[in-house]
Amino acid sequence: MRDFSADHRWLSLNTATVRKQGDLVAIIEGCGRHDIRAIDPWRDQVAAVGLDRAVRAVRDAGLELSGYCRGGMFTSDAARRTEVRDDNRRCVDEAKALGASCIVLVAGGLPQYSRPGSAVSKDIVAARAQVDDALAEMLDYARQAKLPLAIEPLHPAYAADRACVNTTKQALDICDRLDPERTGALGVALDVYHIWWDPDLAGQIARAGRDRLLAFHVCDWLVPTRDILNDRGMMGDGVIDIRAVRGAVEAQGYAGYSEIEIFSDDWWEKPMDDVLRTCIERHRTVV
């Protein structure tokens, strides 16, 4: 297991962590001030400054992209299938322009939440089948662009409105169905927030192996969690044994970034430099 205590060489910043404090260009400048070498930007943040400007800012700063957030939202009613396909193709094009190492995929929950306006459904089994189909289509496109796709299983608390892929096993089952040869085109993005509770976690991380482990995200689970979306904790402030999970991932050969992604009304209120300093300190002490 790598020693993170001496520096933050392997810290990547998911730019949602400071999304309220500045636009993508301001966040990239912040990374420069704190010697952060990698980011994972969100599509809306890229769109807000313009793709060309984002590409230049990333390149000028010499940043790597540990991922691009996010593709997916595969579930919809029939009328919106083309929208889903085209949206995800644009995502691949953007990720390619930005030089991202992978696209993080959030599957989508029930269609009415994933693609608003879709007919209301309570059929999560059907939603899951749809994810397979739409992801297969995106995978064809992403393979041509040589852009790996990383399925992020989301905590079961998001099953209805964000992602019906809720366990690492489920994500890996999809990988095995769509990429049985383990070509590297499809894998998982594991975020400790979403997976820490899973009784099957150790076994599934071992099953994933280095081929399938495309991204690793950290934050913490607070008790109590006051808001299921925007009350994630800074690493060390919650109950997750982050180092144990990182150890399991690295035991499989994962050697990439440890990406910090914190959705938090509390942290969004603090100055960007304070947040980044704290991220670095916690990366060195508890991640």
Separation in Å, CA 91 to CA 16, 69, 241: 17, 9, 33
Task: Check: CB of residue 21 under 8 Å from CB of residue 267.
Answer: no
What φ, ψ does residue 59 adopt, rounded to 5°?
-65, -45
Which residue number, 31 or 110, has a Cβ lying nearer to a copy of itself? Answer: 110
To 10 degrees, the CA torsion angle through 176, 170, 70, 83? 80
Q: How many residues belong to the site for a copy of itself (CB under 8 A)?
A: 31
Which residue number, 93 or 161, has a Cβ lying nearer to a copy of itself? Answer: 161
Q: Identify the three-state secondary structure at position 218.
A: strand
The correct pick among 55, 61, 160, 178 for binding a copy of itself (CB under 8 A) is 160
Give the chain's length.
287
Residue 122 contacts a copy of itself per CB under 8 A: yes
Residue 252 contacts a copy of itself per CB under 8 A: no
Taking CB under 8 A as the binding criterion, the range among 3-11, 96-104, 235-243, 250-258 that sits at the site for a copy of itself is: 235-243
Site string for a copy of itself, 199-228 (x = CB under 8 A): x---------------------x-xxx--x
Residue 155 contacts a copy of itself per CB under 8 A: yes
Residue 161 contacts a copy of itself per CB under 8 A: yes
Q: DSSP readout, 61-130?
A: HT-EES-EEEEE-----GGGHHHHHHHHHHHHHHHHHHTBS-EEEE-BSSHHHHSTTSPP---HHHHHHH
Residue 124 contacts a copy of itself per CB under 8 A: yes
Q: Identify the three-state secondary structure at position 164.
A: coil
Tokens (6 digits) for 250: 């690295």
Which residue number, 167 or 278, has a Cβ lying nearer to a copy of itself? Answer: 167
The correct pick among 170, 204, 258, 264 for binding a copy of itself (CB under 8 A) is 170
Q: Residue numbers of the site for a copy of itself (CB under 8 A)? A: 110, 113, 122-124, 128, 155-157, 159-161, 164, 166-167, 169-170, 196-199, 221, 223-225, 228-229, 238-241
